[in-house]
């Protein structure tokens, strides 16, 4: 079981969660959609244990969590390969250079392992972040708008690559992009705002399989946008 069980949490000036419960499907990709500032990223941060909760339980094995943020979070003083090896460095584990190089090869950066982050483009940096996220082979991956800062083409390529690399893992992804949600997620959770609370709604895609072709994707996006409009959770 992975999720929230009766959790309450407040920021200094705002109550975010009150007796909030939400379960995530294990081994699947769940997209969290909702308006800006509603608390999607906060949910991920709570799952990652970055903030103490007031009451309730967060059901997750934190040793199984890998994190990928909106910004690449690469450390500028480390080379590409050392950034990928960071989980080992920070936990005192022996570095697995073969795995780091394999992952860099998978994300198409085998030729840039010695480069420093400032020598890479935004898309390359995000690919390094993806390799670092997958390096520890953890079963739960939390992604906070991982492709939000990329151009459309790079975003599409990285989404496809991510879809391939995270197969079989439990992925919880915050996104503003309905197309991204339809492309990557098995389930989509809409978060909407009732005063000072967040409520999770049922997955709008239901049991329908992820759209396999462009037409299916387009139809799913249209359906999702209609639903977003109905709940008035646009980002504006």
The footprint of other proteins (CB under 8 A) covers 45, 48-50, 62-63, 65-67, 69, 71, 73, 75-77, 86-87, 89-92, 116, 118-119, 136, 142
In the structure encoding, which two tokens stand for residue 116, read together? 């420093």
Closest approach of other proteins to the CB of residue 175, in Å: 18
Closest approach of other proteins to the CB of residue 78, in Å: 8
Closest approach of other proteins to the CB of residue 73, in Å: 5
- Closer CB to other proteins, 77 or 215, in the complex: 77
Closest approach of other proteins to the CB of residue 91, in Å: 6
- Closer CB to other proteins, 10 or 73, in the complex: 73
Closest approach of other proteins to the CB of residue 221, in Å: 30
- Closer CB to other proteins, 12 or 76, in the complex: 76
Phi and psi at 28, nearest 5°, equal: -125, 170
3-state SS of the chain?
CEEEEEEEEEECCEEEEEEEEEEECCCCEEEEEECCCCCHHHHHHHHCCCCCCCEEEEECCHHHEEEECCCCCCCCCCCHHHHHCHHHHHHCCCCCHHHHHHHHHHCCCHHHCCCCHHHCCHHHHHHHHHHHHHHCCCCEEEEECCCCCCCHHHHHHHHHHHHHHCCCCEEEEECCCHHHHHHHCCEEEEEEEECCEEEECCCCCCCCCCCCCHHHHHHHHHHHHHHHHHCCCCCC
19/37 Cα distance (integer angstroms) = 19
- Closer CB to other proteins, 143 or 200, in the complex: 143
Closest approach of other proteins to the CB of residue 88, in Å: 9
- Closer CB to other proteins, 77 or 153, in the complex: 77
- Closer CB to other proteins, 135 or 221, in the complex: 135
């Amino acid at each position: 079981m992975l999720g929230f069980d009766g959790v309450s949490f407040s920021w200094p000036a705002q109550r975010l969660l009150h007796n909030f419960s939400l379960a995530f499907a294990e081994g699947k990709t769940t997209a969290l959609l909702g308006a800006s500032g509603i608390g999607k990223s906060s949910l991920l941060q709570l799952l990652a244990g970055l903030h103490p909760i007031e009451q309730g339980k967060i059901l997750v094995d934190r040793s199984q969590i890998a994190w990928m943020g909106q910004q690449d979070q690469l450390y500028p003083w480390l080379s590409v390969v050392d950034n990928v090896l960071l989980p080992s460095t920070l936990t005192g584990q022996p570095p697995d250079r073969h795995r780091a190089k394999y992952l860099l090869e998978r994300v198409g950066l085998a030729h840039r392992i010695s480069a420093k982050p400032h020598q890479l483009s935004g898309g390359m940096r995000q690919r390094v972040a993806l390799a670092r996220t997958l390096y520890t082979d953890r079963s739960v991956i939390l992604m906070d708008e991982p492709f939000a800062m990329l151009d459309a083409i790079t975003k599409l390529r990285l989404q496809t690559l991510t879809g391939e690399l995270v197969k079989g893992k439990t992925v919880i992804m915050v996104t503003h992009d309905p197309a991204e949600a339809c492309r990557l997620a098995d389930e989509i959770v809409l978060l909407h705002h009732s005063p000072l609370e967040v409520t999770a709604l049922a997955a709008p895609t239901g049991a329908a399989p992820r759209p396999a072709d462009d037409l299916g994707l387009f139809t799913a996006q249209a359906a999702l946008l209609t639903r977003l409009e109905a709940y008035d959770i646009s980002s504006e």
